[in-house]
Homo-oligomer: A and B are copies of this chain.
Amino acid sequence: MNEAIALANLSALSHPMRLRAVRALVARAPNGLTAGEIATSIDASPSKTTFHLNLLSEAGIVSSKRQARHVVYQVEFAALGALLRYLLEDCCGGHPTVRECCASASGDGPGLDC
């Protein structure tokens, strides 16, 4: 992970349709969803969906493979993990406040209002 990749990742996630697409894919992991299913779930036209999925794909946040007439998209958890790690470690300097927000998400730390 480096600045350029992190920026591409952040840009890719910073659009409502794309963030929703990612969440839909997370909900259906590890099987993924077809482009058409994603289009339906985010209520977007086919070309719009392709446009946004391409950005996510170029950023490495999703991958795709053709299956017969469908194209199945899957979320790349490792890419998201790398982005979060970069933000936490390289951008926030591993600051305790930030680290504890991530830790408290797993229910083990003290309850913070993150």
Inter-chain contact A106/B101, CB cutoff 8 Å: no
- Residue from B1, B22, B97, B99 within 8 A of A91 (CB atoms): B22
Which residues of A in the span 93-114 have a Cβ within 8 Å of any Cβ on B?
93-95, 97-106, 112, 114
Q: Which one, A9-17, A45-53, A66-74, is touching chain B?
A: A9-17
Inter-chain contact B77/A92, CB cutoff 8 Å: yes
Inter-chain contact B93/A81, CB cutoff 8 Å: no
* A7-B15 CB under 8 A given contacts A99-B106, A101-B81: yes
Interface on A for B, CB 8 Å cutoff?
A: 1, 3, 6-7, 10-11, 13-16, 19, 22-23, 26-27, 29, 77-78, 80-85, 87-95, 97-106, 112, 114
